[in-house]
């Protein structure tokens, strides 16, 4: 059987794009190989580690277990989409740096995208809720506490609770 291709039209990081993709490709394959969005990491490739996490229509998905053809008509945001037009870091990215929530960096984009979904909700979550929302990611360097702090501080700052954020 000849290779099958399908035309996929979607929005990636705010830009409308079209691409012929191999039906066997994962969304990770498409984002990395066709669009050079290398923040989308290839980790376990079976949906366990969370390194390939992206937002699809505002919800987090492990792109390694998401067929690229399913992206048709969807709005996708990767870590690259969080930065400003000249590469300025977003508050959550800066918080990861400030809190030393990054060591090797491999899990970082995935974590930041889960944080992005959490922050987009625009409300305050309890510590347990934050931990649960970040639980789909494996980090073998930092021990998670710094990551948790980065997310919690950013959440509080966005809600105008700077004093509470500083006390975290």
Partner 1 sequence: MYDIKALYEAESVPHAVQLLVEHPEAQIIAGGSDVLVQIREGKRAGKELVSIYGLDELRGVSCEEDGALRIGSLTSFSHIARAPLIQEHIKVLGEAVDMVGGPQIRNIGTIGGNTCNGVTSADSASTLFAWDAIVEITGPEGVRRMPIQAFYIKAGQVNLRPGELQTAIIIPKAAYEGYKGHYIKYAMRNAMDIATIGCSVNVKLSADKQTMEDVRIAYGVAGPIPMRAVHAEERAKGRPVAGEEVRAAARAVLEDIHPRDSWRAAKDFREHIAVVLAERGLREAIRLSGGEIHA
Give me the residues that bind partner 1 (CB under 8 A), please.
Answer: 1, 4, 6, 22-26, 29, 45-48, 50, 53, 59-62, 65-67, 69-70, 114, 132-133, 135-137
- Looking at beta carbons only, is 108 or 165 nearer to partner 1? 108
Side by side, the strands of the sheet bearing 53-56 are 15-22, 5-12, 75-77, 53-56, 59-62
Min. distance of Cβ 71 from partner 1 in angstroms? Answer: 11
| Dihedral sign, Cα of residue 92, residue 94, residue 99, residue 100 | positive
Min. distance of Cβ 58 from partner 1 in angstroms? Answer: 10
Min. distance of Cβ 10 from partner 1 in angstroms? Answer: 13
Q: Which two tokens stand for residue 114?
A: 């889960």
Min. distance of Cβ 132 from partner 1 in angstroms? Answer: 7
- Looking at beta carbons only, is 18 or 86 nearer to partner 1? 18
| Dihedral sign, Cα of residue 114, residue 116, residue 122, residue 127 | positive
What is the spatial distance between Cα 134 and Cα 156, in angstroms, rounded to a whole number? 16
């Amino acid at each position: 059987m000849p290779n099958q291709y399908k035309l996929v039209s979607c929005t990636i990081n705010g830009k409308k794009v079209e691409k012929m993709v191999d039906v066997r490709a994962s969304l990770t394959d498409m984002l990395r190989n066709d669009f050079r969005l290398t923040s989308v990491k290839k980790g376990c490739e079976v949906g366990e580690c969370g390194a390939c996490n992206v937002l699809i229509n505002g919800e987090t998905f492990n792109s390694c277990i998401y067929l690229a053809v399913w992206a048709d008509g969807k709005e996708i945001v990767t870590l690259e989409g969080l930065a400003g037009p000249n590469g300025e870091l977003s508050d959550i990215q800066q918080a990861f740096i400030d809190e030393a929530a990054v060591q090797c960096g491999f899990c970082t984009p995935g974590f930041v995208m889960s944080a992005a979904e959490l922050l987009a909700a625009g409300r305050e979550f309890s510590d347990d809720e934050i931990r649960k929302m970040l639980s789909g990611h494996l980090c073998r360097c930092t021990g998670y506490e710094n990551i948790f702090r980065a997310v919690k501080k950013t959440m509080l700052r966005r809600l105008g609770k700077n004093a509470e954020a500083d006390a975290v």
